[in-house]
Structures are given as C-alpha cells and as structure tokens.
Chains A and B, each alone.
Chain A
Amino acid sequence: MSEGHVRKLVSSVDIRARIKACEKLAEAFGKVVKSVLVGEEPRLIIPKRTLSNTIYDKERGLLLLGPSTFERNFLDVRESKKFMQTLLMAKIIYEALMNNEYPTIRDLFYRGKHSIRYRDHKGRIEEENTWDEQKESDAVLRDIEVYVNLLREEMLILSKEKGKVVGDMRIKSGDDIIDLSKMGHGAYAIEPTPDLIEFIDVNAEFVLVVEKDAVFQQLHRAGFWRKYKAILITSAGQPDRATRRFVRRLNEELRLPIYILTDADPYGWYIYSVFKIGSITLSYESERLATPKAKFLGVSMTDIFGDEKKKPYLSETERRNFIIRAKKADIKRAQELLNYEWFKTEKWVKEINVFLAKQSKLEIEALTGKGLYFLTDTYIPTKIQTQDFIE
C-alpha cells in the first residue's frame, strides 16, 4: 500500500499522535537498552500508583500522582517478570504505532501472550506464559503510561466506547464534521481518543452529565438540551477516560459550566468525584482528565429531606414510596468518603452525615417517577437557577 493511499484512510491528527508517541517510547526505553550495553543493570524508575502516593492538590482541586517512585530492576527476582512484561508491552505498543494500528487493551493482551520454555533448577523443562490474565497486561500498560508520561489514548490504544453526547454543537472527528444536534434518537459515542476531536462551534450554556443512560435518553427525547441550551452527556455508570477527558475539554476550552446528576448514594458521589478530581487508581491521569470545576447538581440529601432554608422536593408520602434503605456496604463506603481529603468540605460533610443519619438513598429515577417533566422543567432548572449544588 502506497504512503499516499494510507494518508487518505488515516486522519492526519492520528499520524501526528503516532509520531509523538513513538518518539517518547523510544526515548524512555532507549535509556534502558543503553544501560545494558554499557554493562549496567537494566532498571525502570516508575512513579508509584498507590493511594499513599496520591496527593490531593487543594488549590487546583485535583488528585495527582505524588513524587514517590519505585525501581523495576530486571536483576531483581521479584521484579524480573514484570520487567519482561513491561518491555514486551512497550514493544507491542511501539510496533502497533509504527504499523498504523489501533489496538484495544484486549488486543495488547493477546499479542503479548505466549509461552516461554525453560529448564528449571532441577533440570526439568517447564513452560510459563508471558502473562495469563488481562489484568497483568493492563497493569504494565498503566506502568508504561506513567513511566513514559503518555496516556494510552495518546498511544492510540482504544477502549470500549461508553460515554454518549448530544447537543447543539459541531465537532471534527478524524476528517469528518459531526453535528451533535442531528443524532436523531441516538447519540454520538465519545471516541476513545477525545484529544483528537476538534471543536468547530457550539451553541450551549451548560453541560449536564447524568450517571444513568436511561435518564439521558428520557431527557434527550423530551428535548431538554434544545429547550435549555445544554450539552447532554451520560457516562453510563462509572465514567471511562474518554468521557472524562471530553467533559474536561468542554469546561476548559469552551468555558461551559459542568453539572453532574447522579443517584443520591455514596456510589453516585464517587462518580462525581471521579469527574471532578480523578480516581485513586488512575490519579496519574487527573491532570488531563479531571474537571475541578464540575458541580454536583443532585440528587442531594437536602433535595429529599429539605433543611432550615429549603423545602424538600419530595412529599412525606413520596419519600416513603421512593426511598431505599441504605445497605451495610453503602454505610461503609460513606464513612470511607468522609476520610478523603477532597470530601472534607462543609457541604459534603453535611451531605454525608445526613445520609448516615437517615440511612436512606434515592435513585434519579425516583424523580421521573414523580413525572418526567418535573425533572426536566422543575428540578433541574430550579437547582441551576438557585445555584443549589455542591462543589
């Protein structure tokens, strides 16, 4: 296949991303090869991806990777296999970049999985796999991301698309212009490499992110985004990296306020916090994925129970019908959240304490149970207008 032909099929942003990723990989791993050639022990100095090395940057409102590193030395028995796996993974990624491929993490797992045969210390011939489970290859991929300082998206590694978006907005994906207001009943699936998306124009005043896909669809069909000039997004549960990056770019580049709507329970709160400040396991990407200015719109405990300043959105009878009793795991999770630095704000402590006192949780669907248009025309607009949200 001629080069000219390849250029037609592959977008130019892709090619630029490839060249950059290849250069960074070659530089980072070239160092290790060089040390072997001069007779030094081959080692990788990798930032630690642990809770203890996760730092909450209060000023910027981000979870960041701390300064601790660990050494992965090939000559250290405990690390030699992981060293081999890391080098193997780097090689596969590099080759995929050079060959214009878009592997998924599952592809990387299969490409690297093969047998190694050796004679053990008792002279028996044994076999072992480079890796047996995808969690092993996923782990070294994360190591490479922090070691090379490149996110997987930047290395053109794809993951399953999960997030969806609709709204009055045009974007360029690859070499195509896509109108997000003309998606019919469907929605645009946010591509795994959102950095390669170009924003063309937008006509919206805010972004509403809903946890539940079903609620997203109801709002979409009811014409919510058109009526209130919103970009409507769903993460369909825990947000993937692409959705988080896309939301971040909407906030950072288009200055759109971000409102997040989840269930009223610790799980929903954590989804919000992942959007806002990043996740513990992936804190190294927060710098690029987190949206510190994202606001928690609801559903909050005061929406359910009210307080001295506010009337509850639910009547006594509705509460009795819609509230679900919190499970032990919910209580435990809520207590854990209280310990996280980034939940130690006045409003969050209050929110969590009400939950612990009432031991009650509520799904967003409870509000649509009260009537879909209660949600679209009363609850959401009122909350935004009165700035009744938690940051």
Chain B
Amino acid sequence: MSIAEKFRSISPSEFFYRNKEIAGFANPARALYQSVRELVENALDATDAHGILPDISIAIERDYHKPNVYRIAVKDNGIGVPENYIPDAFGKVLYSSKYVLRQTRGLFGLGAKMVILYGQITVGEPAEITSATINSKNIYMYKLQIDIRENKPIIIERMLWPNKTGWHGTIVRVAIEGDWGKAKQKVLEYIRRTAIVTPYANIILKTPDGEIKVYKRATDKIPPPPRETKPHPHGVDIEMLKTMISETKAQALVEFLAEEFQGVGKVIAERFIKTYGFDPNANPKALSKDDLERLVKALREFDEFRKPRADHLSPLGAELIKIGLNTILKPEFVDAITRKPVVYEGHPLIVEVGVAYGGAIEPLEEPQLLRFANKIPLLYDEKTDVAWKVVSENIDWSYYGLSFPAPIAILVHICGTKIPYKGLGKESIAEVPVIEKEIEEGVRAVARSLKLYLTRKRKEEEALRKAITIIKYIPEVANAMTIFVKTNPEHIDKEFLELKLFELVKSKFSDAVRNISSLKDIAIPVE
C-alpha cells in the first residue's frame, strides 16, 4: 500500500504523526536536513518548473532561549500561492486527487506541510507563510497551525499589505527541533549538490554558525519544465486503476482506455479488448474486483500499445550538467551525456551522466559519486545504489587511463515519473537491469571522452616537459657562449643569446610552449 493510500484510513496528519521516520523525520538531525530539503525543493518547483530563474535564500537560525530549536526561513521568487489557497496548501495534508503523472522533486508529495506539522509537534509555534502571486496587488501573510485530528488548517493570524514592488514568490518560516551539529555536513552538501544541478539559480544559505554560502547563477538557461502526462498501461497498478476509474467521466471501458491512458487510441483499445475478451461497453465503475485484477494484468502484458513518451520529462541536459560541474567543482575537464529515454515498468526514464576531472577536485581512492533523482541530490545509502555498483564494480577505470587516487567526480541523474527507490528512505536507486545498463553506458561514454582528454593532455605535457628540459639550460649555455662570442663588430650580451636560444626552442616546440611567454617563467636564478 502506498503512503498516500494509507492516508485514507486515518487522518493523514495523524498518520504522519505516527510514522514520522518514514518521511525522513526520524531524529532531530535528520529532521533539520529533511525540513531544509522539503522547503528548498518546493521553492525550486515554484520557480524553474514555471520558467522562472530561481532566486532562493535559506536562513537557519538557532533559538538562543530554547535548546535545539531552529528557525528556518526559505524565500523564493516563484509563482506564489493564491491567497485563498494558502491555508489549505500549508495547513492541510491533502490526498492526491490527481492520477496524472509528472516528474516532481518532492519525494513524498507532501512537502512543506510535513515540515510545518513536525514543527508544530516539536516546538509548537505557528508557521508563517508570506506569498504573492504574479501581478498580485497585495502580499499576504498567514500564521497557521494544523488540526491534526481533523486535518485542517487553524489560522492564527492573517495580514496583507500592498505589493508596491511587484514582488512574487513565497516565504515560509517555521521553527523546528533540530540538531545543527549533526545535520550540518549533510545540509551543506545538499545545498552544494543542488547548486550543481541548478546552475541557473541564485542560492544563498545562511547557517546557524553565521556562515554565508553563495552560489551565484552561472547561466540563464533553464531546462524545459516537466509536463503532466497520462499513465501508460504498462505502468498501472490496481490502486492507480481504481483512482483513475473513480475520477473518469468515461461510461464505457473502450472509451476509458482510449481517453485516460497514453499510448492507447481507439483502434488499439478495441484490439486490446478483443484480445482479452473484455466487454467494450462495460461501465468501468461497475467492474468487479476480479475484473480489475484481470484488467491490470492484461494492461501490463499487452505489447501493442505505443511506447511510453518521454517528452514530458525534464532532463537537465548535457550543457547544464557541464556548467554545474564546472561552476561548483572547478575541474580542468568536464563532459556530460543525456541518454535516450528508456521504459521502466511503463514509465519513461532518462539517465544523464556527467564527469568532472582534475582542477580543484581532491584525488580520492574512489570516484566521487554525485547522485540525483529528479534533480534532487541523494546523499544517504550511497554504497547500496546501483550507480555505485556501476562506478565501483562494472567499470575498469584503468581502461580509461585512470589510476586511483584520482581527482574524478561522476554525476548520475535519473529522471522519470517513477523512480525505483530502494527502501522507504528513498535515498538510493535499486539495481534494475535497464537502469544499470543505462548508467553504465552513460559512464562509459563520458569516460571515453575523459580518456581522449587525458591522452591529449599527456601528449601535450610530454612535449612541454621536453621543451622545459631544454629551456632550463638556456641561461647556463648562454653564459658559456658569451666567453666565445666575437665581440666585434658589436657587443653581444648574455640576455641577447638567451633570447635567441629561447626563440629557437619556441619555434621547434611551437604548440607545447605557447603558454611560456618568457624564459624567466622556467629558468629561475639560484640566489
């Protein structure tokens, strides 16, 4: 049973209250990290998913009077929340009524409400939401709490003031119990990795230690926003089918299939129904439990549906990955590839791989792995992730001219409407053959490109080394030559001979020594 499903039987708020570790709030350190994550991901979804270049600031402050209490404020310049929706959007844990699919950042689809609820449980202060939509005349502010049993917002305070500057966006302020000391590394790493995949964002983080981390926008290019899409028959399960039936307006099975699924037209729907012997005119809402089970099985089995489409997904693109890796890791070499879409259990999925080498990257005994799923950094459970298996077991790095310790980072981004996470924590990707193959092919592609770069670099280094072998002796040779130089008719000094010798080396090693402008760059006087 999915989490959302479980919400049906008890109040979702109450469910969360009882199962907070599932949503990532197991302890104060993890909760602080999770809270920052949820709010930042909401902020990003409110901006880049709508074509807005994100300006996001995060402030985490320690409450000096209450131990372990932190105030988190996350501000974005997104589309804002319409005034009348603010209480429900932040104060009511909603069932997802939609069965349409969309690639989103939120792992649990619960977002800020979880944070507010957690804050309410641990600290008890109302959350403060300030928001203005685009072109809104006013800016609205709500202080609210959640009635856990009734699952509805309690409005503590409401304010509004004129939007004189034409601002739009949302600010969420919430106080929670946390543990900065233990969460610090993960939070910093989370923001850093987020910055890698959102090089088009300005991100400012103010930590409880008073540190300010600034990630400046490196490009104005935003990946195309993800779009909503209908489910593909191969990806449907019985719960989803029930939801779809309950919300469809279709009166007949054939109509339901043709309208509510992607990859199914009228003709294919009829052929499907005929193949499996269903009644085309049956009212889907009247199907028995057995019928539903049979239908799901058939839908997943039938191989004449059109392939799931991937054009509604939002991969980062090789260009953005390269910009992100360059900006944050400052390597000497970077490359990236976006693989063609593949299908995983009826859901389209795209794997992207980037490589960064050298420069400011610290040489380590193993490749540094930067994992992302739907643009979210995955920080925990690295060693159980399929991407880790690929870079540590499947790939023989020596084949690509690499020996460890090596300064290399591999970025793996998986985007899709269904990601096969391992376990409830949703921090690592399962070993699904199709995904493993995609990651491996991607890593091999960028590794080949790295190999080419390294080979070229070694050749250039070798030529430079040879040139320097000669250049370093020039002062000594010129000095000896002055003894034998005929001083008539004109006087010739050591510097002139040095220059002449240097020119000879330059013309012989043209390309390799292009960066050496003067003999003094190489030959250094010994005091």
Contact = CB atoms under 8 A, between A and B. Distances in A.
A130 B473 CA distance: 9
Interface residues of A, number: 38
A36 B497 contact: yes
Interface stretch (B74-82, B199-207, B312-320, B500-508): B500-508
Interface stretch (A4-12, A116-124, A271-279, A364-372): A116-124
Given A26-B484, A84-B476, A94-B483, A117 B526 contact: yes
B470 A88 contact: no
Interface residues of B, number: 34
A30 interface: yes
Nearest to A84: B473
Contacts of B500: 36-37, 39
A32 B521 CA distance: 26
A36 B473 contact: no
Contacts of B497: 33, 36-37
Interface in B507-527: 508, 521-526
Contacts of B476: 84, 87-88, 116, 130
Interface string A65-84: 00000000011010011011
A90 B522 contact: no
Contacts of B469: 77, 80-81
A121 B464 contact: yes
Q: Which of B464, B468, B470 has the most CB of A within 10 A?
A: B470
B217 interface: no
B457 to A, nearest CB: 11
Contacts of B10: none
Q: Which of B471, B525, B526 has the most CB of A within 10 A?
A: B526
Contacts of B501: 36, 42, 74
Contacts of A26: 484
A371 B30 CA distance: 105
A91 B465 contact: no
Given A36-B497, A74-B501, A83-B473, A25 B523 contact: no
Given A32-B481, A33-B485, A117-B524, A80 B473 contact: yes
A383 B354 CA distance: 92
A117 B501 CA distance: 18
Contacts of B332: none
Nearest to A126: B472
A254 B468 CA distance: 57
A77 B464 CA distance: 11
B477 interface: yes
A83 B461 contact: no
Q: Which of A87, A94, A130 has the most CB of B within 10 A?
A: A87
A317 B477 CA distance: 67
B135 to A, nearest CB: 56
A75 B505 contact: yes
Contacts of B96: none
Q: Which of A25, A39, A118 has the most CB of B within 10 A?
A: A118
B465 A121 contact: yes
Interface in B442-477: 461, 464-466, 468-473, 475-477
A200 B524 CA distance: 57
A75 B473 contact: no
A351 B130 CA distance: 114
Contacts of B481: 29, 32-33, 36, 87
Contact of B504 (A39, A125, A130): A39
A127 interface: yes
B525 A117 contact: yes
A95 interface: yes
Contacts of B523: 116-118
Given A30-B485, A91-B479, 19 more contacts: A32-B484, A33-B485, A36-B500, A39-B500, A41-B504, A42-B501, A74-B477, A75-B470, A75-B504, A77-B466, A80-B469, A80-B473, A81-B469, A87-B480, A116-B523, A118-B522, A119-B468, A120-B465, A130-B476
